[in-house]
Amino acid sequence: MINIKKNDILTVVIEDMSDDGSGIGKLYDEALSSDTSGDEPGRRRGFTLFIKDTVIGDVCEVKVIKLKKHYGYGRLMRIIKESDHRIKARCPVARQCGGCRLQHMDYKAQLNFKENRVRQLLARVGGAHEYRMLPIVGMEEPWNYRNKAQYPVGCDREGNIISGFYAGRTHDVIQTDVCYIQRKVSDEVKAAVINWMSECSIAPYDEKSDKGLVRHILVRSGYHTGEVMVCIVINSRTFPNKDELVEALITIPGMTSIFYSPNLEKTNVILGDKAVRIWGKKFINDKIGDITYNISPLSFYQVNPVQTERLYEAALRAADPGPEDVIWDLYCGIGTISLFLAKCAGQVYGVEIVPQAIKDAEENARINGIENVKFYAGKAEEILPEKHRKENVSADIIVVDPPRKGCDESLLDCIISIRPKKVVYVSCNPATLARDVKILSEGGYKLVQAQCFDMFPHTTGIETCCLLII
């Protein structure tokens, strides 16, 4: 056994990084150092230490601060030798914010790290070793990519109104004028709203006392159209000083819609359950490929438009539908992937749990003149089995794009019993993707291809598109 105690000072080489961007150092016992029977072929087993603020390749001096049976946590004391991949973070508050946990690593190394993580999980958890891994798709310019910003609003110690982000794992608002991953217009809107609040003496909402008005500033923008939507989330059912707000915002180029959303709950959920229009259009438009989408304040829409287009094209290539094929697009949101596939398929069915998103999906089909799609509101794991049992609907191809928790096991069982010739799995969480690939492979499916898309540069998030066939 490796003999490590709390407060030991050790020299560690960072070999990998964890889900939350901590460096991983391995400590090898001499007796184990030639043991190649570890988790992966050719890799030695070792004791794992998680060390914040380090990157792959750093050699560092670490103090052991917490020990569990099979792993521990270390505090970085000193970097003995900096990794070749270490760079200076562009954002001065990257460490405090905790959104961009990888900003101190060069972009190429970020991409390698993400792709390796997916590969490792698919092997270790998914049991998949023989498939084609297409090269990860990164961004040429991995900055200012987000089309949606949600800024919390608060007060500093002197009582000035501030807005920016929550300090990692807290609800303390930290002021920042610029966020390098947001579109520039979002910061412009934020500044104008703060100005309006000061001039009209409008107080930010304070969670502790449950007093004050403005909770969050939501900004969305259309990448191709340049249209801008603002939604102010407030702790009231009525909205004061509307005219002054409109006046403050309409000079911003692209301003198209202004909303407010009442949220009177003591909750972490940002938006309320409705959005009330103050000025402008009911929605903004954007395009993915040649399809136009209506985006309303409350519906889900992918945050990185450049990479979304590449992801959907890859999903379409993987599905490669014929003109007669019946496709089910499960977890379809506002029908983005469904409409993308419909142009090449016989019939597409979309299933989504949020009824408003289904309304948007139907409207999106209508404005694009797409008639071979039908949408159902409900749980994928309920609608698909029901339609299969009662109406005997078939599926040649099934596409799933679930939230982070992955697919319900009963849904995977249903897919296995329907036996579509292809399953295209789009995932924002490689851990649940790997778990579900394992279940599908036990049901006879084989993972033949995977490709990662960097939808969230500088963060630890990664999107993967997999093709499984029977």
CB of 116: closest distance to ligand SAH in angstroms? 25
Question: How big is the site for ligand SAH, counted in residues (CB under 6 A)?
Answer: 18
- Contact yes or no for 202/229 (Cβ under 8 A): no
As measured in angstroms, the least distance from the Cβ of 344 to ligand SAH is: 17
Q: What is the length of the chain?
A: 470
Give min distance, CB of 360 to ligand SAH, in A: 10
Q: Of 424-463, which residues contact ligand SAH (CB under 6 A)?
A: none
Helix intervals (H) in 322-418: 336-342, 355-367, 380-391, 409-418
Nearer to ligand SAH (CB atom), residue 58 or residue 352: 352
Among 47, 113, 131, 300, binds ligand SAH (CB under 6 A): 300
Using CB under 6 A, which of the segments 106-114, 144-152, 185-193, 378-386 binds ligand SAH?
A: 378-386
Helices (H), 141-219: 184-199
Say if residues 146 and 182 touch (Cβ distance below 8 Å). Answer: yes
Q: Which residue is nearest to ligand SAH (CB)?
A: 333
DSSP one-letter code for 267: S
State which residue, 162 or 298, has the beta carbon closest to ligand SAH.
298
Query: Where in 335-374 is the site for ligand SAH (CB under 6 A)?
Result: 336-337, 351-354, 357
Rounded Cα gap, residues 367 and 250, in angstroms: 27
Q: Least distance from C-beta 331 to ligand SAH, angstroms? A: 3
Q: What are phi and psi of 112, to 5 degrees?
A: -60, -45
| Dist. CA 56–CA 89, nearest whole Å | 15
Residue 255 touching ligand SAH (CB under 6 A):
no
| Shortest Cβ 299–ligand SAH spacing (Å) | 8
Q: Is 287 in the site for ligand SAH (CB under 6 A)?
A: no
Q: Which one from 91, 100, 179, 428 is the annotated catalytic residue?
A: 428
Reading phi first (left if > 0) and then psi (alpha if -120 to 50, else beta), residue 172 is in beta
Question: Which SS3 state, helix, strand or coil, does residue 336 take?
Answer: helix
428 is catalytic: yes
Among the residue ranges 24-32, 80-88, 107-115, 377-385, the one whose residues contact ligand SAH (CB under 6 A): 377-385
Residue 359, both tokens: 């309304």
User: Quick one: 231 or 334, whose CB is closer to ligand SAH?
Assistant: 334
The whole-angstrom separation of Cα 166 and Cα 235 is 18
Q: How far apart are CA 458 and CA 300, in angstroms?
A: 22
Pinpoint the alpha helices (H) of 392-429: 409-418
Contacts with ligand SAH, residue ranges (CB under 6 A): 300, 302, 331-333, 336-337, 351-354, 357, 379-381, 401-403
Catalytic residues: 428
